[in-house]
Homo-oligomer: A and B are copies of this chain.
Amino acid sequence: QEVKKHGKGAERMWVTYKMGVYDITDFVESHPGGDKILMAAGGAVDPFWALYAQHKTEDVMEILEGMRVGSLDPTEPAPVHAVDASDPFSTDPPRHPALIVNNPKPFNAETPPSLMMDNFRTPNDLFFVRNHLPVPQTDLASHRVRIEGLGKGRKDIELSVDELKKRYKEHYVTSVVQCGGNRRADMQKYKKVAGLMWEGYAISNAKWTGVRLRDVLIDLGVDPNDETIKHVHLEGADVDPTGKPYGASIPFEKAMSPEVLIAYSMNDEPIPSDHGFPLRCIVPGVVGARQVKWLTLVRLSDVESPSHFQQKDYRAFSPSVQHGDELDWNSVPSIQDYPIQSAFCLPATGTTVDREDGTVDVAGYAWSGGGRGIIRVEVSPDGGKTWYSAEMEQDPDQNQDKMWAWTLFRASIPIPPGVDKMDMVVKATDRSYNTQPETAAGIWNIRGLLHNAWHHVEVKIRD
């Protein structure tokens, strides 16, 4: 309780590590990434250090002990995560304190942009979370995925995680999940939209390991060229108050592509509760809403999933459809492949930079759907008049025609002489030479989906 009073902005800032309490106030100024340690001020530094192995050395421990101001009281009870039977969200798992919470119930949170560039594969604890419903209580041993609609004379089948692992070859893919509403807050600056106000970090990149949906279906007798099968429905264990599960569908041809997995591992660990334990369908190149978590059902069909989330959401209307208009959901197709996207993670808008630094260091991510690799990322110091090419970090195992992972970019942009602020812009180009629109004028839609206009960050220049 005492520690909590010494949070970010307090006169003296404390953190705890195990049972020790440390005053980091004087240290922050000199620490590389001092702003990051401030995220832990007033609480435990342990979950942050878990992300950075370089802290677990004797030298670091010695420095830390030099800042010690006391110890936690072992008799003070740890805060209890109470289960409240009247609150369906009370069994949700604990989360990393650095996540930027957009909505607590259902839990929706962005990766903190300041930590996003530290890892090509987003650590599981920092992977953005987009839940539509309470996290279901699943069990590794008893969980089953049911396969339906296999065709005449073929019975439905239920497979456990163990059976999937035993029967099919293991594959992995490093692949992005991005929410259809990512950067909605940015689109709202153009004109009001409805939905969770994601800033631009409802996107993460992980290594997913599992079995190919294709291998499972072919083994169960499905012909990859069967033209009567058009869509594959997916359902999760998460249910709404009426008992209806979350559902979505993907085109059959995509479902039969080698990159689509029934995954059981995320970054070489069992998939965490928030991300679909024990099974998630990973559909690289496609919007997150189709990558169904807590997977319980795969159904072959000649039509799209009738689920609300397939039929009445995740479709981007024309800018001509205004608030108050009746929404003709059938007039627009369900979102599958994502269009090209990029955004800055660093610096934050409003940051002040010294003119004598000469340059502004910028960094962020770029990604496009459908496996279309990023062929360049360009940044502008002046609102788009001039452009510089950024350095790109990509998955060396993926090529430009099958790039499921994101591209991280970094650049040092020269500070033009005489300016007191810079309107920095980023835009990317994909393998099909698709680019991002300059503004939301042509893509604004009432639900604020798929905002991918040029991302701007303004910094101040100090003499």
Residues of A bordering B, CB below 8 Å: 251, 253, 316, 318-320, 332-333, 335-340, 369-370, 372, 375-376, 378, 384-389, 400-401, 427, 431-439, 441-443, 450, 454
Q: Are A438 and B431 in contact (CB under 8 A)?
A: no
Query: What are 7 A-B pairs with beta-carbon distances under 8 A?
Result: A253-B401, A318-B376, A320-B389, A333-B400, A435-B442, A436-B437, A436-B442
Most chain B C-beta atoms within 10 Å of own C-beta, residue among A316, A332, A333, A432: A432
Which residues on B sit within 8 Å (CB–CB) of A438? 437-439, 441-442
Which residues on B sit within 8 Å (CB–CB) of A388? 320
User: Nearest CB to that of A444 among chain B residues?
Assistant: B387
One of B336, B376, B434 near A434 (C-beta < 8 A)? B434
Known contacts A434-B434, A435-B437; can you find 18 more A-B pairs with CB under 8 A? A318-B376, A318-B378, A318-B387, A319-B378, A320-B389, A332-B375, A335-B433, A336-B432, A337-B372, A338-B433, A339-B433, A370-B370, A427-B442, A435-B442, A436-B442, A437-B437, A438-B438, A438-B442
What's the minimum C-beta distance from A169 to chain B, rounded to whole angstroms?
Answer: 15
What's the minimum C-beta distance from A54 to chain B, rounded to whole angstroms?
Answer: 34
Most chain B C-beta atoms within 10 Å of own C-beta, residue among A386, A387, A388: A387
Query: Taking A436-B442, A441-B438, A442-B438 as contacts, is the C-beta distance between A431 and B387 under 8 angstroms?
Result: no
- 10 smallest beta-carbon distances between A and B, as pairs: A337-B432, A320-B387, A339-B434, A339-B433, A434-B434, A438-B438, A433-B450, A319-B387, A427-B442, A435-B437
Which residues on B sit within 8 Å (CB–CB) of A434? 339-340, 432, 434
In angstroms, Cα B318 to Cα A389, docked, is 8
In angstroms, Cα B338 to Cα A434, docked, is 8
Which residues on B sit within 8 Å (CB–CB) of A442? 378, 384, 387, 427, 435-436, 438, 454
User: Nearest CB to that of A373 among chain B residues?
Assistant: B333
What's the minimum C-beta distance from A99 to chain B, rounded to whole angstroms?
Answer: 27
Q: Are B316 and A433 in contact (CB under 8 A)?
A: yes
Q: Are B332 and A432 in contact (CB under 8 A)?
A: no
Number of copies: 2
Which residues on B sit within 8 Å (CB–CB) of A318? 376, 378, 387, 389
What's the minimum C-beta distance from A399 to chain B, rounded to whole angstroms?
Answer: 9
What's the minimum C-beta distance from A214 to chain B, rounded to whole angstroms?
Answer: 13
Query: Taking A437-B438, A441-B384 as contacts, is the C-beta distance between A431 and B333 under 8 angstroms?
Result: yes
User: Nearest CB to that of A384 among chain B residues?
Assistant: B441
In angstroms, Cα B384 to Cα A337, docked, is 26
In angstroms, Cα B237 to Cα A221, docked, is 47
In angstroms, Cα B285 to Cα A370, docked, is 14
Q: Are A320 and B386 in contact (CB under 8 A)?
A: yes
In angstroms, Cα B401 to Cα A336, docked, is 10
User: Nearest CB to that of A251 among chain B residues?
Assistant: B401
Q: Are A339 and B432 in contact (CB under 8 A)?
A: yes
User: Nearest CB to that of A332 among chain B residues?
Assistant: B375
In angstroms, Cα B303 to Cα A158, docked, is 45
One of B369, B389, B431 near A336 (C-beta < 8 A)? B431
What's the minimum C-beta distance from A341 to chain B, rounded to whole angstroms?
Answer: 11
In angstroms, Cα B431 to Cα A375, docked, is 21
What's the minimum C-beta distance from A311 to chain B, rounded to whole angstroms?
Answer: 16
Q: Are A370 and B432 in contact (CB under 8 A)?
A: yes
Which residues on B sit within 8 Å (CB–CB) of A319? 378, 387
In angstroms, Cα B376 to Cα A316, docked, is 11
Which residues on B sit within 8 Å (CB–CB) of A384? 441-442
Which residues on B sit within 8 Å (CB–CB) of A369? 432
In angstroms, Cα B438 to Cα A427, docked, is 13
Query: Taking A251-B401, A401-B253 as contacts, is the C-beta distance between A333 and B432 under 8 angstroms?
Result: no
Which residues on B sit within 8 Å (CB–CB) of A339? 432-435
Which residues on B sit within 8 Å (CB–CB) of A401? 251, 253
Which residues on B sit within 8 Å (CB–CB) of A372? 337
In angstroms, Cα B386 to Cα A316, docked, is 17
What's the minimum C-beta distance from A227 to chain B, rounded to whole angstroms?
Answer: 11
In angstroms, Cα B434 to Cα A337, docked, is 9
Which residues on B sit within 8 Å (CB–CB) of A251? 401
Q: Are A337 and B389 in contact (CB under 8 A)?
A: no
Most chain B C-beta atoms within 10 Å of own C-beta, residue among A320, A427, A434, A438: A434
Which residues on B sit within 8 Å (CB–CB) of A443? 435
